[in-house]
């Protein structure tokens, strides 16, 4: 999710390939059936020929990947739809722009174990799955095709030993990719091992899956998550109110009923949510679904995403104007990720 992992963090995961067999859970079938063809995406949304060259060129750099549940929320025939902008490649992705690089963050020093990033006090990030259900065009990961390797239990054991040995760690954050792309069997196993470590208090999950495939929040997931002794936080990733339809709200309600605290992080994106009204509507819609805004990230300068950039000055004045409209508890914190810093950096 938005806590991205550098290229040289090896993935600690034994993610099974998505299955389309009828015995698989509904969410896994939806994951196996995501739209991966840029021409199909344009055709399904009634976009004209002019969208095709960009869609094809961008797809060659970072493949198109759109779940049906997300596609259904995009207005057909509108090239400026804020959800479409997040998934449809534009010709601009192929432009080289000064300052936008393949690897804007350098975090290699903080990976004491395979798939584990320990940068901030009291909390660590575990890469629980390299896969994502959706490919967001602005993503920092777009240049890192994670190999889907299957580390052994012994490698997980080394991570668990690290957590057991450092009693200052109170919180484990499952990240990726998208950690909820892993199977419930794998996640239940991992969480059971974490629960055995007495000084761990909190389990946090950074995921976009409940937004893009709300069927992911099914009984099997609620069983291992709801029964955990750890305090549970799920940090969603939605950037626009239109992403949160009735199914997403229902998935949020299921998580809440299982005792999960729900937060959201967004990225400030040109043409998606770079207006005060869009940001206000997002906060309001999130709260209707039982979710509090947490972070609003400025874009990482990753090559291919420069057309999404909103300059710092504009970001600050947008957030100042937002403060005039919203109650304080609906205000996201505007932050940037600075390599080497011990926390997210407020703007």
| Residue pointed to by tokens 């690089």 | 101
Q: Are strands 116-120 and 123-129 parallel, antiparallel or unpaired?
A: antiparallel
Contact 135, 36 (CB under 8 A): no
The partner in contact with residue 120, picked from ligand PLP, ligand SF4, none with C-beta cut-offs of 5 to 8 angstroms by kind, is: ligand PLP
Least CB distance to ligand PLP at residue 262 (A) = 14
Please give the DSSP secondary-structure letter assigned to residue 35. B
Least CB distance to ligand SF4 at residue 142 (A) = 7
* Residues between 167 and 196 that touch ligand SF4 (CB under 6 A): 177-178
- Grouping H, G, I as helix, E, B as strand and the rest as coil, residue 311 is coil
Least CB distance to ligand PLP at residue 125 (A) = 4
Query: Counting contacts by CB under 6 A, is residue 139 touching ligand SF4?
Result: yes
Question: Which of 156, 162, 163, 142 shows the shortest CA–CA distance to 267?
Answer: 142
Nearer to ligand SF4, 93 or 178 (CB): 178
Query: Counting contacts by CB under 6 A, is residue 205 touching ligand SF4?
Result: no
Q: Does the annotation flag 252 for ligand binding?
A: no
Query: Counting contacts by CB under 6 A, is residue 272 touching ligand SF4?
Result: no
Query: Counting contacts by CB under 6 A, is residue 344 touching ligand PLP?
Result: yes
DSSP string of 265-302, one letter each residue? EEE--TTTS-SHHHHHHHHHHHHHTT-EEEEEEPPP-B
Query: Counting contacts by CB under 6 A, is residue 141 touching ligand SF4?
Result: yes
* Residues between 116 and 135 that touch ligand PLP (CB under 6 A): 117, 119-120, 123, 125
Nearer to ligand PLP, 173 or 209 (CB): 173
The partner in contact with residue 72, picked from ligand SF4, ligand PLP, none with C-beta cut-offs of 5 to 8 angstroms by kind, is: none
Instruction: Take residue 172 and report the two structure tokens written for it.
Output: 């484990």
Q: Does the annotation flag 132 for ligand binding?
A: yes
Instruction: Take residue 193 and report the two structure tokens written for it.
Output: 């091992």
Least CB distance to ligand SF4 at residue 113 (A) = 21
Strand partners, 184: none
* Residues between 206 and 235 that touch ligand SF4 (CB under 6 A): 208
| Residue pointed to by tokens 């575990």 | 126
Contact 14, 126 (CB under 8 A): no
> Distance between CA atoms of 114 and 280, rounded to whole angstroms?
40
Interacting residues with ligand PLP (CB under 6 A): 3, 117, 119-120, 123, 125, 173, 343-344
């Amino acid at each position: 999710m938005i806590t991205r992992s550098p290229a040289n963090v090896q993935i600690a995961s034994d993610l099974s390939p998505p299955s389309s067999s009828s015995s698989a859970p509904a969410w896994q079938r939806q994951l196996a059936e995501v739209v991966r063809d840029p021409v199909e995406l344009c055709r399904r949304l009634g976009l004209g020929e002019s969208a095709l060259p960009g869609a094809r060129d961008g797809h060659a750099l970072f493949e198109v990947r759109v779940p049906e549940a997300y596609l259904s929320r995009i207005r057909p025939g509108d090239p400026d739809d804020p959800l479409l902008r997040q998934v449809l490649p534009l010709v601009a992705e192929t432009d080289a722009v000064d300052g936008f690089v393949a690897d804007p963050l350098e975090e290699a020093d903080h990976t004491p174990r395979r798939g584990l990033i320990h940068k901030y006090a009291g909390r660590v990030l575990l890469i629980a799955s390299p896969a994502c259900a959706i490919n967001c065009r602005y993503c920092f990961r777009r240049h890192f095709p994670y190999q889907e390797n299957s580390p052994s239990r012994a490698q997980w054991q080394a991570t668990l030993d690290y957590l057991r040995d450092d009693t200052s760690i109170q919180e484990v954050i499952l990240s990726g990719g998208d950690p909820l792309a892993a199977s419930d069997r794998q996640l239940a196993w991992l969480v059971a091992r974490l629960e055995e470590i007495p000084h761990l208090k909190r389990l946090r999950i950074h995921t976009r899956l409940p937004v893009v495939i709300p069927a992911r929040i099914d009984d099997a997931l609620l069983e291992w998550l709801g029964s955990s002794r750890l305090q549970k936080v799920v940090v969603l990733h939605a950037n626009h109110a239109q992403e949160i339809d009735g199914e997403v709200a229902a998935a949020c309600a299921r998580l809440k009923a299982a005792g999960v605290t729900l937060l959201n992080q967004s990225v400030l994106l040109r043409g998606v949510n770079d207006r005060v009204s869009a940001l206000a509507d997002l906060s309001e819609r999130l709260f209707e679904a039982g979710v509090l805004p947490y972070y609003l990230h400025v874009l990482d300068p990753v090559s291919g995403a420069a057309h999404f950039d909103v300059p710092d000055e504009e970001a600050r004045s947008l957030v100042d104007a937002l403060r005039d409209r919203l109650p304080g508890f609906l205000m996201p914190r505007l932050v940037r990720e600075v390599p080497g810093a011990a926390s997210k950096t407020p703007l």
